[in-house]
Amino acid sequence: MPDLSNQTETRKTSFNLRQYSMIIALIVIMVLFQILTGGIFLKPQNVTNLILQNSYVIILAVGMLLCIVSSGAIDLSVGSVVAFIGSLLGVLIVQKGMNVWLAVLIALLVGALIGAWQGFWIAYIRIPAFIVTLAGMLIFRGLTLYVLQGMTLSPFPKGFLAISSGFLPTSGGPLDTTTLVLGAIAIVVYLFSAIRGLQRKKKHGYALPAKGVFLIKNIVIVAAIALFSIWLALYEGVPILLLILVALILIYSFFTNKTVQGRYLYAMGGNEKAAILSGINTKKALFFTFVNMGVLAALGGIVFTSRLQAATPAAGQNFEMDAIASCYIGGAAVMGGSGTIVGAVVGALVMGVINNGLSIMGVGSDITQTIKGFVLLAAVVFDILSKKHAARA
């Protein structure tokens, strides 16, 4: 079993500049929209809406990142899978009256089967992922139209709608105490993790960040968590969907950074032949990467259908583009081998902030799409130039 811990540490160090620069860019964009919208953008209600509106992009971006990291592949079918899962939920819950949670479980299993179907052709038959997932995009969009027969299915029961619109019970008052307590717990857990990580680096002889940089970084993050908690506490409290997203980010961050299987994906993306010679079963790893993408696409379909409160034939249009762009904006390498979960989430937030801010300003979808295209191009150009600079150094 190859020891990839040093490779993982190098990867994390090399992406610090890119990741921090995108976080700074996100903050600058948010401040800019706060000014341009006359203070509307950062109102507590809009901050909560920003989370709920972009939840499906974050979910899809997490799965897409693993596909890109492991092989440089992209999944073009996720938007169509989101629509197909929505149509399936519409039939099971609205038409058949099935129990909500049983229908959700079936939807996730169908997503896994879709991922397994596409993963088989990609990993074992070695058909390019672009071709397989392009076929999947057409197949599942067609199946969506067939299942719905051009109709929109609604209404869904309150239990299903609570997935995207429910909140934790609040304590009442102008500031929700429950939200503030959860925010304080999050700060304590983060600081404990940061200090422990610093001690671990020192123990294993890794390069340590400058004290000033470490201090400023953690002050900024703690302040961001505290401010975010206050924003939520001023509105309805903590959305249930936010808890799902946080759990997803933590689980996948742990998987990619702390497990052998997660490190295998980066090794595959960096050099597949070397990974095979190191004893990594690259076919199996790639197969399960697309199974995972199928499950997360199904989860995205569940969340989006709950948010939309209906199953429609047009659901999921261009979702794959937002997910792919989020990964590249967040620092994923075009050819695979590098990228982080946090980076993908930051990229998704950049896309979401641009959409939300321009919408508040009344800018049309044509200009919005144009701006998002320029942002994506600028992020990839920055990635290429920074790598060339690092190579010369």
Per-residue pLDDT of the chain (393 residues; tens, 9 = 90+): 445 444 444 444 444 555 577 788 888 889 999 999 988 998 988 989 998 889 999 999 999 999 999 988 899 999 999 999 999 999 999 999 999 999 999 999 999 999 999 999 999 999 999 999 999 999 999 999 999 988 999 899 999 999 988 898 877 777 888 899 999 999 999 999 888 888 888 888 777 777 787 888 889 889 989 999 999 999 888 999 999 999 999 999 999 988 999 898 998 888 888 888 888 898 999 999 999 999 999 999 999 999 999 999 999 888 999 999 999 888 887 777 788 899 899 999 999 999 899 999 988 888 888 988 888 888 778 767 776 666 665
DSSP structural state of residue 310: S
Contact status, residue 287 vs residue 124, Cβ threshold 8 Å: yes
Cα–Cα distances (Å) from 337 to 66, 70, 237, 254, in that order, read 10, 6, 38, 17
**Domains of the chain in sequence order:** 5-160+259-387 (1.10.3470), 167-238 (no CATH)
42: burial class by Cβ within 10 Å (0-12, 13-18, 19+)?
A: middle
* pLDDT value for 290: 96
* pLDDT value for 9: 46
* pLDDT value for 5: 47
Q: Which two tokens stand for residue 58?
A: 């974050």
Cα–Cα distances (Å) from 34 to 30, 304, 346, 361, in that order, read 6, 27, 18, 11
287: burial class by Cβ within 10 Å (0-12, 13-18, 19+)?
A: buried
Using only the alpha carbons of the chain, give its radius of gyration: 21
CA–CA separation, 176 and 229 (whole Å): 9
* pLDDT value for 334: 75
* pLDDT value for 385: 73
pTM of the full predicted structure?
0.89
* pLDDT value for 253: 92
CA torsion sign for 239, 240, 243, 247 is negative
**Of all helices (H) and strands (E), which one includes residue 191?**
helix 177-204
CA–CA separation, 79 and 76 (whole Å): 7
Query: Which residues, in sequence order, are CB contacts of 275 under 8 Å at separation 6+?
Result: 264, 267, 268, 282
CA–CA separation, 369 and 235 (whole Å): 30
CA–CA separation, 34 and 41 (whole Å): 5
* pLDDT value for 16: 54
